[in-house]
Amino acid sequence: MRVPAPAHWAEPVPAVPLRAVPLILTDFSSEPYSVRMLTTVARTLASSCDAVLVGEHQDRPDFPPTLLASMLQDTGVRPWMTLACRDRNRIVLEEELSGLRQLGVDAVLCVTGDARAYDIRPDVTQVFDLDGPRLAALAVSIGIAAAVPETPAAPPRHLRAARLAQKQRAGAAVAVLNHDTVASVTAFMSDAVPGKCGRVPENSTR
């Protein structure tokens, strides 16, 4: 089956620049709805990384991103928050982005989000008013730096660089690449940077 190329983003959106790109960006995960565990994990990680990337999981609802970010800042870590379109309409996404900007969060990882796991709150409707690139453009309009994900090794591999290019045109300031081999990431960036993406800083999470 032929896979269609990524849709072209019509008008490039100037990115909100990052204040600093962390050398070590560590995945953050803790027991949901537990302030005690969040604090324990954050304090454990604080001295070993420059920032933490806080995910939003399809099978594990948690506190709102603005609350999580505030609690993490109180422990001394710099949070990069993930914001997914799965459970939020545009107004709620705007509210979260505005709150994160007010808190001084460096960046928001803008993702469409996987569909919720089949056994997690099947009684609740999923939203998807926006997708990841449109969320990135919305983040920029509110004044917060947009990060975007990409997976170099996932099929269709030959379209991954073009996907990242469209995310950059939507306003992405930085790309967070999913875990992969050094060779795969190097090959991806050599394809993406010169021909399709200009210069998008990339960061592989630890």
42: domain CATH number? Answer: 3.20.20.220
Task: Examine residue 182 and state whether it is found in any structural domain, yes or no.
Answer: yes
Task: Examine residue 13 and state whether it is found in any structural domain, yes or no.
Answer: no
Task: Examine residue 2 and state whether it is found in any structural domain, yes or no.
Answer: no
- pLDDT in the model for residue 43: 96
pLDDT in tens, 79-110: 999 999 988 999 999 999 999 999 999 999 99
pLDDT at 2 over 60: no
Secondary structure, 3-state, the chain: CCCCCCCCCCCCCCCCCCCCCCCCEEEECCCCCCHHHHHHHHHHHHHHCCEEEECCECCECCCCHHHHHHHHHHHCCCEEEEEECCCCCHHHHHHHHHHHHHHCCCEEEEECCCCCCCCCCCCCCCCCCCCHHHHHHHHHHHCCEEEEEECCCCCCHHHHHHHHHHHHHCCEEEEEECCCCHHHHHHHHHHHHHHHHCCCCEEECC
Q: Between residues 135 and 178, which one has the greater pLDDT? A: 135
* Domain containing residue 135: 25-116+124-204
- pLDDT in the model for residue 119: 77
The arithmetic mean of pLDDT across residues 39-64, rounded, is 93
Task: Examine residue 90 and state whether it is found in any structural domain, yes or no.
Answer: yes
Task: Examine residue 5 and state whether it is found in any structural domain, yes or no.
Answer: no
Task: Examine residue 169 and state whether it is found in any structural domain, yes or no.
Answer: yes
Task: Examine residue 14 and state whether it is found in any structural domain, yes or no.
Answer: no
Task: Examine residue 145 and state whether it is found in any structural domain, yes or no.
Answer: yes
Q: Which of 6-20, 39-53, 88-102 has the lowest mean pLDDT?
A: 6-20
pLDDT in tens, 141-190: 999 999 999 988 778 888 888 888 899 999 999 999 887 777 776 676 66
**What total number of domains does the chain contain?**
1
As a whole-number percent, the residues of the chain with pLDDT over 70 amount to: 83
pLDDT in tens, 59-72: 888 899 999 999 99
